[in-house]
Chain A
Amino acid sequence: MSNLWPAVEPLLARVQKPARYIGMERGAQAPEHSSALVSWLLVYPDTYEIGLPNQGLQILYEILNERGDAVAERSYAPWVDMEGELRGAGVPLFSVDTHRHAGRFDVLAFNLSAELVYTNVLNCIDLAGVPVRAEHRRPEDPIVVAGGHCAFNPEPMADFVDAFVIGEGEEVVGEMTEVISAWKRSGRTSREGVLRELAGVPGVYVPAMYEVEYDGPFVREVRPRFADVPARVDKRTVADLADWPYPKNQLVPLVEVVHDRLNVEIFRGCTRGCRFCQAGMITRPVRERPDEQVRTMVREGLRRTGYDEVALTSLSSADFSGVDGLVADLVNKQEGTGCVGLSLPSLRVDAFTVGIASEIQKVRRTGLTFAPEGGTWRIRQVINKLITEEDLYAAVDGAYSQGWRRVKLYFLTGLPTEMDEDTLGIAELARNVVKVGRQYTKHASCTVSLGGFVPKPHTPFQWFGQNGIAELHRKVGLVRTALRKSGAQLRWHDPEATFAEGIASRGDRRIGRVIEHVWREGGTFQEWSERFSVDRWQDAMAACGLDAEWYVTRHRTADEVLPWDHIAAGLHRDFLWQDWQASLQAHGLPDCRWTPCYDCGVCTDYALEHVVASPVAPAGGSQGTGQDLSQGGDMPVEFLTHPSTRPDAATGASERDKQVGAHAG
């Protein structure tokens, strides 16, 4: 039975939000399967509402379905109630497009966007009727593939995934399809054979082709088992986004989902160099989409979807060259009926940004979010988030004075070299922000969102020992106490969940047994606080004879082999180590888009270049510090003393003579 709908339908009367399982989005496809085609099931291992908007999945869905040799459908992790119904009725996981049995696809491809979804991946494989461990799979079982940011440390999921895609998937999915297609034509006999072929595709990592050798608790070496298997797997990167105007038919869901709007990706990569940020490090270099293509995608996307809101997405959207002209045109020249909202997620902190925001939000000025990440200038130099207090106060002054009432501030705690002074600085900034706001309205509010820092692979902080649970609780407590009667609200991320994330983030292949243990004990949807329990993770570590603190809170040394050293994001290990050392000296590093190259390794190794839509640095300079980056910036970074002496943000004019030297807080 290829269509499971008759079996699924009766279950839907008994579950919450049944529309999660019906598909039918505008833009959805109902591809015709045949034995000659390679069928991909793209699975997002979280709820439909979280997974549907995922742009990576939608891009691959279109690219695969455009191919003559492949078809692709989608699936999402069924919520706990639906899982119970499926297991009770003996119905397997299915695609939402044509309600086809997940286990009947040639490929099950998972998007790994966060570590705490790992147990859901196992659950989905199991619900598909496929053996959870790769070694138990037979030739007739689907090939289990995983990609996304977390694939840059594939080792914790190595037991369950046949092939990882490192980096961007646009090109590699086609190459994989060709390998799998040939395998199908040859009678689909040896699983080992097709996996070995896949291991030869650039950007594909097949963990079964590698042997891990340990030295006590340490990894000594991850070694290919065969001569034709590469010792190091380099990430894939598309050179020019202009060649990839996807998704062309963004899916429009029938139910409300996160980011429920038209999303147009305006660039990939980020060279701000924030040292905690894995996304910024592994997606280099910066590749901007041509201005004209952005406009076309917005115009056609709105026309086709009927959405009344569009987001220009990237890791730091105000950095898009010529963003002000683009925004002004999009806001003022909208055609069609009604009014169209525009949003720029991931805004940096400065007055220029507020200027853009005020251009966009002409009527509904409710909330504006900034991410200073650290409480003092010193710690912000350590993490290379070079925002001065003046930048922040100028930004919030601009926001409140122009009618915004709510400001949200994102911070991290548990950062390298963080002292209580830095932690308490978070509360002080928030208090001052409220004071600025109260000058304009007594309704001014400020929400502080505090996350525990988890060191990530392929960043300068990959060697840093994460703060333990008790220490993070203590720091949250410091901020909490200091914010009493301040008018600012505090929200914080559960330190226990931060700890579990830390286990998986820098784990090695032995962590696979831990993930399996947590899953077998019922630990699915670990990103959902009502479903999370750190005890399950602690118990699983103990059951596997592993020391959680060793994985999470231990500093790594320069000579230690890291479990992901055989995976390359293009960043030289020397560069990362030097940047780690520079951070400990509180040295900032400028944005290399407009300053001389400091040779992180990505462009030179991969023969890539930054692609910018305009050669002029956006106004506002380097993170609002007023550096004239078009002339080349110096180290250490300098900043202005008073907001009043700032160069006109809209012109970005340099006023170097008014700058003073940097100081350590």
Chain B
Amino acid sequence: MRGDQGFPVRLRFAKRGKVRFISHRDVARAFERAFRIERLPLAFTVGFVPRPKVSFGLALSVGHESDAEYLDVELEDAVDLDRWPDTLSAALPEGITVTGAVGLADRAPALQEAVTAVQYRVGVAGADRGEVAVAVEQALSRPTLGTTRTRKGREVVEDVRPALLGMEVRPVHDRDDDGRVVVDLEVSTQPKGTRPTEILAAVGEHLTAERVLRTHQWIERAGARLEPLEADARLRVPEARAS
């Protein structure tokens, strides 16, 4: 479907402040309205109920902030992408800010499958910096990290160690707004996503992730780690079609 005749575009946006309490689905609806407000020439699916061709990346938990959210949208006509971030941000809820837009290469893989790892910065409560550092060091040295999840109403223990790619306690001066210890966390998204809250619970049962900011999403390709806007960008800005 992608790139056959339309113009696929990838956007990066931040979700900060009060708006972090809306769901992934709410964000999607806000974008659909913003596209209509700005009358962007969206491509629609053909069928009973035509829908704009928009696809979102990995869901962000309600309550978490992000500087690295992405979505792909297909347009009918080429537009000037330089103006997009400001134009769309004005039509979006306060706190959702578009920070980049690129034209995508034809047949770029879908975001959901392409992204392999995500990074978070987490404000941790439940222990002082020294205790958190010890817990992190021990967790990284263990071959398995069990955490209890509820699946279909049953409690099951799952190993989150394979998903934990990296974890580091930030220096003392890097505390969050409320003076909490800050931890950077890198988590694999394949075969499925793991929440930072689940990792924290596995690292130390008294530790809680109070404030979570997604800082990066990465696409790993041929050994290189790429930012999603760069990974599949079209080499040049699409020219307006002759018609």
Contacts and interface: CB of A to CB of B under 8 A. Distances in A.
State whether these chains interact: yes
Interface of A: 5, 12-13, 18-19, 21-24, 26, 252, 254-256, 302-308, 336-339, 363-364
Nearest to B21: A18
B21 A22 contact: yes
B42 A337 contact: yes
15 contacts: A5-B18, A12-B21, A18-B21, A18-B63, A19-B62, A24-B19, A254-B19, A255-B23, A256-B29, A306-B36, A307-B33, A336-B39, A337-B42, A338-B44, A338-B52
**B-side interface mostly:** mixed
A337 B62 contact: no
A423 B35 CA distance: 51
Given A12-B63, A24-B19, A24-B93, A305 B33 contact: yes
Contact of A13 (B19, B23, B63): B63
B48 A363 contact: yes
B94 to A, nearest CB: 6
B127 to A, nearest CB: 19
B153 interface: no
Contacts of B19: 22, 24, 254
B50 to A, nearest CB: 6
B37 A255 contact: no
Given A18-B21, A303-B37, A337-B42, A254 B30 contact: yes
B33 A252 contact: yes
Contacts of A304: 37
A463 to B, nearest CB: 48
Contacts of B93: 24, 26, 254
The residue in B29, B32, B36, B94 that gathers the most chain A C-beta atoms within 10 A of its C-beta is B36
A12 B22 CA distance: 11
The residue in B35, B37, B42, B48 that gathers the most chain A C-beta atoms within 10 A of its C-beta is B37
A19 B21 contact: yes
A347 to B, nearest CB: 22
B26 interface: yes
B48 A364 contact: yes
B91 A306 contact: yes
Contact of A337 (B18, B22, B40, B63): B40
B36 A308 contact: yes
A5 B18 CA distance: 9
Nearest to A341: B49
A103 B62 CA distance: 30
Contact of A306 (B22, B26, B34): B34
Contacts of A302: 36
Nearest to B33: A306
Given A254-B19, A255-B23, 10 more contacts: A12-B21, A13-B210, A18-B21, A19-B26, A252-B33, A256-B26, A306-B33, A338-B36, A338-B42, A363-B48
B41 interface: yes
B37 A339 contact: no
B91 to A, nearest CB: 7
A635 B42 CA distance: 57
A308 B31 CA distance: 13
A363 B42 CA distance: 20
Nearest to A13: B63
B28 to A, nearest CB: 11
A2 B18 CA distance: 17
A314 B123 CA distance: 51
A336 B44 CA distance: 13
- For the complex of A and B, 5 pairs with smallest distance between CB atoms: A306-B33, A18-B21, A306-B37, A306-B36, A22-B18
B22 A19 contact: yes
A23 B26 CA distance: 14
B105 to A, nearest CB: 25
B60 to A, nearest CB: 14
Contacts of B41: 337
B58 to A, nearest CB: 20
Contacts of A255: 22-23, 26
A304 B19 CA distance: 20
Interface string B46-67: 0011101000000000110000
Contacts of A23: 18
A621 to B, nearest CB: 35
Nearest to A307: B33
Contacts of A336: 36, 39
Contacts of B26: 19, 254-256
Nearest to A363: B48
A306 B21 contact: no
Nearest to B52: A338
Contacts of B40: 337
B36 A24 contact: no
A22 B29 CA distance: 17
A18 B32 contact: no
Contacts of B52: 338
A424 to B, nearest CB: 39
A306 B32 contact: yes
Contacts of B48: 363-364
Interface in B63-97: 63, 91, 93-95
Contacts of A364: 48-49
Contacts of A13: 63, 210
Contacts of A252: 33
B36 A339 contact: no
A337 B73 CA distance: 14
B23 to A, nearest CB: 7
B50 A337 contact: no
A226 to B, nearest CB: 48
Nearest to A306: B33
A12 B36 CA distance: 31
Contacts of A306: 32-37, 91
A337 B21 contact: no
A337 B26 CA distance: 20
A571 B14 CA distance: 57
Contacts of B94: 24
Contacts of A24: 18-19, 93-95
A308 to B, nearest CB: 6
A100 to B, nearest CB: 15
Interface in B87-112: 91, 93-95
B121 to A, nearest CB: 17
The residue in B18, B32, B42, B62 that gathers the most chain A C-beta atoms within 10 A of its C-beta is B18
Contacts of B44: 338
Contacts of A18: 21, 62-63
A303 B36 CA distance: 8
Contacts of B62: 18-19
A252 B18 CA distance: 16
A254 B22 contact: yes
A150 B121 CA distance: 51
Nearest to A302: B36
B15 to A, nearest CB: 11
A23 B93 CA distance: 10
Interface string B161-193: 000000000000000000000000000000000
Contacts of B63: 12-13, 18
A191 B203 CA distance: 60
The residue in A21, A252, A256, A338 that gathers the most chain B C-beta atoms within 10 A of its C-beta is A338
A338 B73 CA distance: 14
Contacts of B36: 302, 306-308, 336-338
A26 B94 CA distance: 9
A13 B23 CA distance: 13
Nearest to A304: B37
A297 B46 CA distance: 30
A256 B50 CA distance: 20
A26 B93 CA distance: 7
A307 to B, nearest CB: 7
A339 B50 contact: yes
A302 B36 CA distance: 9
A13 B63 CA distance: 7
Nearest to A8: B18
A306 B32 CA distance: 8
Contacts of B32: 306, 308
A200 to B, nearest CB: 42
